[in-house]
Chains A and B, each alone.
Chain A
Amino acid sequence: GQNIDQPTEMTATEGAIVQINCTYQTSGFNGLFWYQQHAGEAPTFLSYNVLDGLEEKGRFSSFLSRSKGYSYLLLKELQMKDSASYLCAVRDSNYQLIWGAGTKLIIKP
C-alpha cells in the first residue's frame, strides 16, 4: 500500500529552527510537495521537490532523498504566524497526490 508518515505534532519556540520530517512509500514517484494549512483554511503551496537535494525559498527549505523515501521541511526564524499544519504529499506514478496526515506545528513565544 501507499503510505506517508509525518509526526502528528511538534512544538518550537519563536525565532528558532524546526525540521518536519516526512517518509513515504508509494507506487512510483513524480515529486513531493509541502503545503501549509492554517486552521479553517485551504492548504497553500510551499515547495516542490522532484530531484534529490535541498530547495531553499526564503525562511523555508525542503530536502528530498528519493533513495531513502525521505523529505524534510526546514523552517527558520520561526514566527507566531507559522503556527499551522504542514502537509507532505507525494505524486505517484498515476500523477495522483498521496497525502500525509499533516504535522501540527505549535510556536511558543
Chain B
Amino acid sequence: SAVISQKPSRDICQRGTSLTIQCQVDSQVTMMFWYRQQPGQSLTLIATANQGSEATYESGFVIDKFPISRPNLTFSTLTVSNMSPEDSSIYLCSAGSGETEAFFGQGTRLTVV
C-alpha cells in the first residue's frame, strides 16, 4: 500500500487569495487524483493529475481556478485560486496504480473568510 502525505492539513484563507496543496506519495504511482468533499457529502472528482502533461478536469472545474502540477510520479500540487467562501471544503489527494485500491492523503480542510 502507498502512504500519502498531504499538506497543509488545514488553513484559513482570505477571499481573493490562493492556496497550494501538496501531495507526496512514498512510491511511484500511475494515477493521482484530486477530490473535493463538502461536509456530509461524498467525494467530487476535480481532476486527474497527469505526469508531465496537463491535468484532465471534470465538468465544472477549470484549470484557471484549480491549476494542478505533477512533475513526477510521486508528487502533485493543487492550487485553489482567487478563493471565495464557496471554495471552503475538504480537498483530498488520492493515488493508486491501475487495478488496485486507491489511497488517500489526510485531506486539507480549507476555510475561506
Contacts and interface: CB of A to CB of B under 8 A. Distances in A.
A23 B101 CA distance: 19
A87 B102 contact: no
Per DSSP, are chain A's interface residues mostly helix, strand or loop, or mixed? loop
Interface of B: 1, 31, 33, 41-45, 48, 92, 98-107, 109
Contacts of B105: 42
22 contacts: A30-B99, A31-B99, A33-B102, A40-B109, A41-B106, A41-B107, A42-B92, A42-B105, A43-B92, A45-B102, A48-B100, A87-B42, A87-B43, A95-B31, A95-B98, A96-B48, A97-B33, A97-B102, A99-B42, A101-B42, A102-B41, A102-B42
Interface string A57-100: 00000000000000000000000000000010000000111011
Interface residues of A, number: 19
Interface of A: 30-31, 33, 40-45, 48, 50, 87, 95-97, 99-102
Contacts of A40: 109
